[in-house]
């Protein structure tokens, strides 16, 4: 049973990360209403398992719950969004002069970036949102999905490259 002090601790520890939780859910579900539902479910789960939170770093813990809740929701409502096609041409190494950061800073506007992010497969969208929009460290990302740091780094590199290709296509007037 949760006590009054646990309520206060939960509010102090977990509630400050509500916007990061919503941002991740919004990008993964691609819908405001669905993201709100997912975040609500994630916070219910977070409350249920609040006693298992170790230490003070609640943000990665909460984002892990949001991430798992999103994937469960996507499996139940949009399983086709979870498939990531591996294309050798897309996943090969990018040249240094055409990296996503350069494209983002010099050629893309906010809507183009939003469209490109929306076009990414959910696994790539997730990793870009966590790193680039939420500032989650590589180490924290590796702890969330419980995959090795090298896998996180290579997935992020592939996601950035695919994002770059989507932005290039949009800048040239094509579909992402």
Q: Which residue bears the tokens 């050629």? A: 107
Do residues 36 and 135 lie in contact, with contact meaning Cβ atoms separated by under 8 Å?
A: no
pLDDT at position 85: 43
Contacts of 35 (CB under 8 A, 6+ apart): 22, 25, 26, 28, 29
Question: Can you tell me the distance from the alpha carbon of 73 to that of 128, in angstroms, rounded to the nearest whole number?
Answer: 20
Average pLDDT by consecutive 10-residue portion of the chain (176 residues)? 77 92 91 94 92 80 91 79 44 46 50 83 88 86 80 90 87 77
pLDDT at position 95: 43
pTM: 0.65
Show the CA angle centred on residue 140, arms to residues 54 and 73, nearest 5°: 85
Q: Which residue bears the tokens 């950061």? A: 101
pLDDT at position 56: 67
């Amino acid at each position: 049973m949760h006590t009054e002090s646990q309520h206060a601790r939960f509010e102090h520890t977990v509630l400050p990360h509500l916007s990061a939780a919503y941002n991740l859910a919004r990008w993964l579900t691609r819908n405001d209403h669905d993201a709100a539902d997912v975040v609500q479910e994630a916070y219910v789960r977070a409350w249920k398992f609040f006693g298992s939170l170790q230490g003070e770093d609640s943000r990665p813990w909460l984002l892990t719950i949001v991430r798992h809740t999103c994937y469960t929701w996507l499996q139940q409502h949009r399983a086709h969004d979870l498939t990531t096609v591996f294309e050798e041409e897309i996943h090969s190494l990018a040249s240094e002069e055409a990296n996503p950061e350069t494209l983002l800073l010099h050629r893309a506007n906010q809507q183009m970036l939003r469209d490109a992010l929306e076009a990414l497969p959910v696994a790539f969208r997730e990793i870009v949102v966590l790193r680039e929009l939420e500032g989650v460290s590589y180490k924290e990302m590796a702890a969330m999905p419980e995959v090795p740091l090298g896998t996180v780094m290579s997935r992020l590199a592939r996601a950035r490259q695919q994002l770059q290709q989507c932005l290039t296509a949009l800048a040239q007037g094509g579909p992402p």
